[in-house]
């Protein structure tokens, strides 16, 4: 069954593909958590400083901040299945090399950071393609449930994987933990090789990588709900990173345990995260998105302060509470971004979210690792709790948008206009003017509608948008903007969504006597053009006045 098939089951697990991928991903998550425990404890056993130990977490998060946008642009323009296979194969290779070098006794603190950084690079490339592929596997109404189940799967692994990792390290050493991680990628690679996504054919050429990255940044920058999510995710990640980054030191210095104790602490954190994932749906039905994020932030703050006491019976429930807050916040941020992004840009939007969240985590790991080096682990956890409370205060300034099921499918009915002068996709620059007739009494409402229209135009690729009023004809208003090429103009119109119809309807209601606008499509010409130059690059295009054709 494809994501678009109807009718669809009540749960994402009713879709065989999602069920297989979820199961294989769960096994891979177990391997990743075992590897993470091995890397953190290996760094601790090498006698590294608290800052170096905290950098293990940062070395995994930093590549996500650096590479996610590039990876998102690739995922929106290339075959996501192939990207996933490439990323998984790369991480398998790196993990195997790490295991071999550890067995040979050649690992140093800096070499360990290099390998964890490389695994982080694989994760950064894999992340946007994987998250965006969920929408290719399940229908949109099941997307929020699928994202929550993915988070739950990761945290099921988090609840048990660290304890297993600790046991493996205690019994057979870190090299075995790294080898187990390498093997864990095999199942997911096998499932992905058998997946043949049934996607609609691509109508337009792929965007150049730099253009695609810029388009993703522009879309998010001009989408206030997504921008708010990114800002809140960065602040949350900054403080939330302290608990997993400092966990080895909590186990060794505050509690006085070994690798098994470390695994048990991470297991408690993961068990709480599973509980948070299971409660997420009920909480979303009863609480606003903002209250869920505030609740999650308070849970992290309370968990950090209680863990700083260094008492194992208190630390375990405290970390479970923090784990619940962790998954509630991150899954809420993730779902909010996915539901606020149309399919053409969803991987880039997810990538920017990951850059914000994991960038905050990387900075927080370094910052609180430095605090722990100077003032102690307990003091660093208390400081992190204080920063986490800022996330609650931030809600008073930038309230989280409500998760909605806005219709972001492309608007139907737009047809590429014919022109009297032939144009090629590369022809340009293209200048568009739209002439609106508005009564004097409706000017105030018209300006409000056009303010939103400006945002939509620029979000979808229009440049230098401005609004002009004719001095000789007070009812005549001219909307003017341009594109680098004719292909960019076509992309702009293809990106309009059903959710944008409300703005168009509001504008239509203000036209005098319902008179549609006059649309002029022109191409710039240099006065020094030589005779015989491409006519498509040297003539004015005929205006099109068909009201059914959006400009």
pLDDT score at 133: 85
- pLDDT band for 535, please (50, 70, 90 cuts): very low
Range from 19-33, 283-297, 386-400, 433-447 that averages highest in pLDDT: 433-447
Q: Are residues 448 and 342 in the same domain?
A: no
pLDDT score at 551: 57
Q: Are residues 87 and 163 in the same domain?
A: yes
Predicted confidence (pLDDT) at residue 501 exceeds the cutoff of 70: yes
- Mean pLDDT within 450-462: 94
Predicted confidence (pLDDT) at residue 156 exceeds the cutoff of 80: no
Note whether residue 487 is domain-resident.
yes
CA dist., res. 254 & res. 248, Å (int) = 10
pLDDT score at 1: 40
Q: Are residues 146 and 262 in the same domain?
A: yes
Which of 53-57, 242-246, 426-430, 434-438 shows the lowest per-residue confidence on average (mean pLDDT)? 53-57
- pLDDT band for 273, please (50, 70, 90 cuts): confident
Q: Are residues 336 and 446 in the same domain?
A: no
Structure tokens of 263?
Answer: 């695994």
Note whether residue 507 is domain-resident.
yes
Question: Which residues make beta-bridge pairs with 430?
Answer: 483, 523
Q: Among 269, 115, 129, 266, which residue's Cα sits nearest to residue 188?
A: 129
Q: Tell me the residue range of the domain where 501 lies.
A: 430-537
| Final residue belonging to a domain, choices 354, 373, 397 | 397
pLDDT score at 458: 95
Range from 60-69, 388-397, 446-455 that averages highest in pLDDT: 446-455
Predicted confidence (pLDDT) at residue 422 exceeds the cutoff of 80: yes
pLDDT score at 158: 63
Left if phi > 0, otherwise alpha if psi is -120 to 50, otherwise beta: which for 291? alpha
| Final residue belonging to a domain, choices 397, 413, 446 | 397
Residue 77: which residues within 8 A CB-CB, separation 6 or more? 206, 207, 209, 212
Note whether residue 425 is domain-resident.
no
pLDDT score at 159: 63
Predicted confidence (pLDDT) at residue 530 exceeds the cutoff of 90: no
Which DSSP symbol is given to 274? Answer: H
pLDDT score at 539: 41
Note whether residue 458 is domain-resident.
yes
Distances (CA, A) of 432 to 16, 137, 320, 453, 489: 48, 38, 57, 14, 9
Q: Are residues 438 and 392 in the same domain?
A: no
Note whether residue 2 is domain-resident.
no
- Mean pLDDT within 396-404: 82
SS3 readout for 491-543 = HHHHCCEHHHHHHHHHHHCCEHHHCCCEEEEEECCCCCCCCCCCHHHCCCCCC
Note whether residue 445 is domain-resident.
yes
Q: Which residue has the higher pLDDT, 521 or 14?
A: 521
Q: Are residues 381 and 481 in the same domain?
A: no
Distances (CA, A) of 220 to 126, 301, 333, 411: 21, 29, 14, 20
Q: Are 316 and 187 in contact (CB under 8 A)?
A: no
Q: Are residues 390 and 440 in the same domain?
A: no
pLDDT score at 5: 42
Note whether residue 368 is domain-resident.
yes
Which of 21-25, 49-53, 329-333, 431-435 shows the lowest per-residue confidence on average (mean pLDDT)? 49-53
Residue 10: which residues within 8 A CB-CB, separation 6 or more? none
CA dist., res. 349 & res. 32, Å (int) = 25
Q: Are residues 98 and 233 in the same domain?
A: yes
Domains identified in the chain, total number = 2
What CATH code is carried by the domain that includes residue 505? 3.30.70.100
Helices then strands, counting H and E runs in the chain, come out as 17, 4
Q: Are residues 187 and 61 in the same domain?
A: yes
Phi, psi dihedral angles at 331 (to 5 degrees): -70, -35
| Final residue belonging to a domain, choices 355, 376, 397 | 397
Q: Are residues 374 and 513 in the same domain?
A: no
Which of 17-21, 101-105, 141-145 shows the lowest per-residue confidence on average (mean pLDDT)? 141-145
Predicted confidence (pLDDT) at residue 204 exceeds the cutoff of 70: yes
SS3 readout for 161-184 = HHHHHHHHHHHHCHHHHHHHHHHH
Mean pLDDT of the chain: 85
- Mean pLDDT within 75-86: 89
Phi, psi dihedral angles at 518 (to 5 degrees): -95, 125
Residues 502-519, buried b or exposed e (16+ Cβ, 10 A)? ebeebbeebbeeeebbbb
- Mean pLDDT within 234-240: 91
Predicted confidence (pLDDT) at residue 525 exceeds the cutoff of 60: yes
Q: Which residue has the higher pLDDT, 434 or 10?
A: 434
Q: Are residues 341 and 469 in the same domain?
A: no
Q: Are residues 502 and 378 in the same domain?
A: no
What CATH code is carried by the domain that includes residue 177? 1.20.1250.20
Note whether residue 90 is domain-resident.
yes
- Mean pLDDT within 357-379: 87
């Amino acid at each position: 069954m494809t994501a678009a098939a109807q009718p669809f089951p009540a749960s994402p697990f009713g879709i065989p593909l999602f069920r297989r991928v979820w199961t294989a991903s769960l096994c891979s998550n177990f391997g990743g958590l075992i590897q993470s425990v091995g890397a953190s404890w290996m760094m601790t056993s090498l006698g590294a400083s608290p800052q170096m130990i905290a950098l293990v977490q940062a070395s995994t998060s930093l590549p996500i901040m650096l590479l996610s946008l590039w990876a998102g642009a690739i995922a929106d323009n290339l075959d996501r299945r192939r990207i996933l296979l490439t990323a998984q194969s790369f991480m398998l290779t790196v993990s195997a090399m790490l295991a071999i070098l550890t067995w040979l006794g050649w690992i140093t603190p800096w070499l360990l950071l290099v390998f964890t950084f490389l695994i982080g690079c694989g994760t950064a490339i894999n992340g946007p393609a994987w998250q965006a592929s969920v929408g290719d596997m399940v229908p949109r109404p099941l997307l929020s449930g699928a994202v929550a189940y993915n988070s739950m799967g990761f945290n099921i692994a988090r609840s048990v994987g660290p304890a297993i990792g600790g046991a493996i390290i205690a019994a057979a050493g870190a090299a075995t933990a790294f080898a187990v991680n390498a093997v864990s990628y095999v199942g997911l690679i096998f499932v992905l090789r058998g997946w043949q996504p049934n996607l609609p054919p691509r109508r337009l050429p792929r965007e150049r990588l730099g253009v695609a990255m810029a388009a993703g940044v522009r879309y998010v920058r001009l989408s206030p709900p997504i921008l708010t999510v990114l800002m809140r995710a960065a602040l949350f990640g900054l403080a939330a990173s302290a608990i997993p980054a400092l966990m080895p030191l909590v186990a060794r210095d505050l509690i006085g345990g070994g690798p098994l104790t470390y695994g048990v602490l991470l297991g408690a954190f993961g068990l709480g995260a599973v509980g948070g994932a299971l409660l997420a749906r009920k909480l979303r039905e009863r609480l606003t998105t903002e209250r869920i994020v505030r609740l999650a932030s308070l849970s992290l703050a309370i968990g950090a302060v209680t863990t700083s006491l260094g008492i194992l019976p208190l630390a375990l429930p405290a970390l479970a509470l923090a784990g619940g807050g962790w998954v509630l916040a991150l899954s809420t941020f993730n779902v909010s971004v996915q539901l606020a992004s149309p399919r053409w840009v969803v991987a880039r939007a997810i990538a920017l979210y990951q850059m914000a969240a994991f960038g905050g985590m990387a900075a927080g790991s370094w910052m609180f690792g430095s605090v722990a080096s100077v003032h102690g682990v307990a003091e660093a956890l208390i400081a992190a709790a204080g920063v986490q409370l800022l996330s609650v205060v931030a809600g008073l300034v930038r309230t989280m948008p409500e998760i909605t099921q806005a219709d972001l499918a492309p608007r139907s009915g737009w047809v590429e206009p014919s022109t009297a002068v032939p144009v090629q996709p590369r022809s340009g620059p293209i200048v568009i003017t739209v002439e609106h007739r508005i009564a004097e009494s409706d000017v105030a409402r018209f300006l409000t509608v056009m303010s939103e229209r400006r945002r939509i135009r620029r979000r979808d690729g229009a440049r230098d948008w401005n609004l002009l009023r004719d001095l000789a004809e007070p009812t005549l208003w001219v909307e003017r903007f341009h594109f680098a090429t004719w292909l960019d103009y076509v992309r702009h119109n293809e990106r309009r969504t059903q959710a944008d119809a409300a703005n168009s309807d509001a504008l239509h209601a203000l036209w005098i006597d319902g008179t549609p606008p006059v649309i002029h499509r022109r191409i710039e010409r240099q006065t020094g053009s030589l005779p015989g130059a491409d006519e498509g690059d040297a003539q004015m295009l005929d205006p099109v006045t068909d009201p059914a054709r959006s400009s």
